[in-house]
Amino acid sequence: MDVEERVRVVKGIAEEIITEEDLRRLLEEKKHPIAYDGFEPSGLAHLPFGVYRPLLIKELLRAGIGFKIYLADWFAWINRKYGGDLEKIQKVGKYFLEVWKAAGVPFKRGVRYVWASDLVMEREYWKMVIRVAKHTTVRRTLRALTIMGRKEGEMNEVAQFFYPMMQCADIFMLGVDICQLGMDQRKINMLAREVGPKLGLWKPVAVHHHLLMGLEGPKKMGGYDENKEIDLAISSKMSKSKPKSAIFVHDSREEIFAKMRKAYCPAKDVKNNPVLDYAKEIVFRVYKEVKVERPRKYGGDVVYRNYASLERDFAEGGIHPLDLKNAIADYLDEIVSPIRKHFEKGKGKRLYEEVKSFEVTR
């Protein structure tokens, strides 16, 4: 695969690349650059985590890009997940790894995982944190705190103010070339691009992926970002802490259909429509064609070979929202099924039952 084809693959998983020129230069200079994403171990696996993220990782591997999964247990500890119980947090991290294995993430071929609790024990780690902090203003740090999923007024521990500096330091300590995280993490990636050259280090490429929308559709802006579109995306994203807005990899077929039937999906409205969102970002990444079953009196079944034609038909009223919901629910169930089955016995079941018993705190 030549450089232009590799760039095309990366663009296919990105909502934003900063910058495309930097990405192209990186791919010309490095045959196998490294990308990463970090995850606070908390909650049960939902579509963005258990299905969407593995799909994007596989695309990066196809483009010759290695990947590091960062199990951010110390960050979840700082963020008071599970009441700050580090033992529970690390148990959830092990469950996370089991989810990714069930989803087909190839840990033996191009994907590694690193625990934050191991990285912070490295000799140079805290020196890097301080170096980053010395090149970051208090105001910039306060603005970046929203990467935790919290707002400035919700912070009540000094430890939480270390979070942005640590996340920025991680990028350089992990030696990654590409920060391949969601749009909600862009503030730290932009900071890393500014701080890196000041420290005599590199400027990482930022490749931000889309945030899957929650089942309830667009929400009131939450003040997470100065950019209104980004703020809306963050405020409306599917969240593990809001079960009614999420589909989990453990949901039964009946639960998936029930949730999808209640999903926000106004007729002919393609803007901020979660059902179309899942069709575009998940279903068409897995299947070459998508079948929507319709009553014969409305034209009968129709098969789509690309998302654009599906969206066009829906916008023109050619597909009823319920028919679309049922079709996408069927494909999502098929995608989730092997992951769900993995946790019905053995080690997977034991981990799932234990994590499910933990009281989730925000």
Query: Residue 323 belongs to a domain with what CATH number?
Result: 1.10.240.10
Q: What is the CATH number of the domain that holds 125?
A: 3.40.50.620
pLDDT of 205? 98
Q: How many domains does the chain have?
A: 2
Dist. CA 140–CA 142, nearest whole Å: 5
Indicate if 197 and 257 belong to the same structural domain: no
Residue 284 has which token pair?
């068409």
Q: Write b or e for each residue in 56-66: b if 16 or more Cβ atoms lie within 10 A of its Cβ, otherwise e.
A: bbbbbbebbbb
**Are residues 196 and 263 both part of a single domain?**
no
Please give the residue range of the domain that contains residue 152. 3-208
- Would 214 be classed as within a structural domain? no
Confidence of residue 1 (pLDDT cuts 50, 70, 90): confident
Mean pLDDT confidence for 137-166:
77
Residues 86-144: tens digit of each pLDDT: 999 999 999 999 999 999 999 988 899 999 999 999 999 999 999 999 999 888 888 77
3-state secondary structure the chain: CCHHHHHHHHHCCCCEEECHHHHHHHHHHCCCCEEEEEECCCCCCEHHHHHHHHHHHHHHHHCCCEEEEEECHHHHHHCCHHHHCHHHHHHHHHHHHHHHHHCCCCCCCCEEEEEHHHHCCCCCHHHHHHHHHHCCCHHHHHHHHHHHCCCHHHCCCHHHHHHHHHHHHHHHHCCCCEECCEHHHHHHHHHHHHHHHHCCCCCCEEEEECCCECCCCCCCCCCCCCCHHHHHHHHHECCCCCHHHCCECCCCHHHHHHHHHCCCCCCCCCCCCHHHHHHHHHHHHHCCCEEECCCHHHCCCEEECCHHHHHHHHHCCCCCHHHHHHHHHHHHHHHHHHHHHHCCCHHHHHHHHHHHHCCCCC
pLDDT for 241 equals 81
**193 and 315, same domain (yes or no):** no
Give residue-wise pLDDT tens across range 226-266. Answer: 788 888 888 889 998 888 899 999 999 999 999 999 999 99
197 with 256, same domain: the answer is no
Closest CA to 307 of 221, 210, 235: 210
Shared domain for 45 and 185, answered yes or no, is yes
Does residue 49 lie within any of the structural domains? yes
